[in-house]
Structure 1
Amino acid sequence: MDVPTHTDGTVARTPRLALRHVRPDDAEAFLAWRSRPDVMKYLYLEPWTMPVARERVATWADASFSAAGDVLTLAVETPTTVIGEALLKWAAGEGQVEIGYAFRPDVAGKGYATEAARALLGIAFEDYGFHRAFARIDAENLASVRVAQRLGMRLEAKLVENDRRPADGVWATEVVYAVLATEHAARRRDWSRTGARVG
């Protein structure tokens, strides 16, 4: 199943952002946050080097999204630059998808993550027809938790010290937030009525 895409690779637009398919030449932009230990700590990965960035981004640019286990990674950009990423991971359960997002630390506090993630839910539910979307978040990553809460996702699980972070060896607690397609549709109607930004 292919998501509707504009000729420039854009999958969705918000008032300030475009979410588009990753291109191989995005490697340097992605390195701006994926080389940072403070970001990668919560992604449970080692910081990237440029060779790793080139390899991973090239793989993502060529990846399909049609079956369980597939991942769709999108670049999030303003009119001038790429500032982050948003992804969908097709989960094993029928109609289930995991969402994720990461951004340059220097754009924090401007609402970009919420705006992009709201658009990402639109892609998941309206373009792909998923029934339920969820986010798995390190409980210490309060900024990401707040994004999930602003999206209207509910806390469904708290897994205490269920995984060890590679960056610091700490046994970290995971929280799981989720939302149904019907709930998201109702919130979109509310956002439209109140004049809030709709991604």
Structure 2
Amino acid sequence: MDTPPFPLPGLRVLLADAGQRRSPVLRFELIRLRCQLVDVLDLVAEPEALARSLQRPAPELLLIDCEQPTAGLLAQLAQLNTQRPRPVLLVAEQMTPEQMRAALHAGASALQPAGLPPQRLGALLQLAVARFEHDQALRTELRQTQTQLAERKLVERARGILMREQGLDEEAAFQRLRQLAMTGGQTMASVASRLIDADQLLRPRQ
């Protein structure tokens, strides 16, 4: 068999197999790919096993093989994604479009409907990891953008206070904020926040 284009040796995988139907086949393929199998959960014998898997050695990827993604399974997946995000490959014999959307919303990185041909496992694992890393990068970028926007609003508000209280124009007020930040070894947003707090404290209440 061909080696996956991006090697997977050492990837710690937690396998959740409903009823242990295909776990022997999947175990063999994971061994062939030189992944490290952390544990195998039986979602039929232990329906809440996913929620408890956080107590196990931290896997780098979760592989779920089930008949169909139930609401209970997706709720556990969403909990895992909130507490400790990781790539998730969800394989299901049956999956409606609504279940696909729900699975992606719950944190699945890659979906494989209609079962899993073992020879495709390597490529699907790579897809799950790549999609997870891409989504995490987008979330980080979004958080940074939101933070920058919030900081910009603080600076604009503080600049308005300086213009009102000290009779400065826009550029002079901005330079004053920057000077205060440099002198105190702080960010402009931090100085702006303190100035806004002081203004709210000193201004007479209406």
Q: TM-score, normalised by structure 2?
A: 0.27
Q: Which structure has the highest strand share of the two?
A: 1
Higher relative contact order (CA 8 A, sep 6+): 1
Larger radius of gyration between Structure 1 and Structure 2: 2
Q: TM-score, normalised by structure 1?
A: 0.28
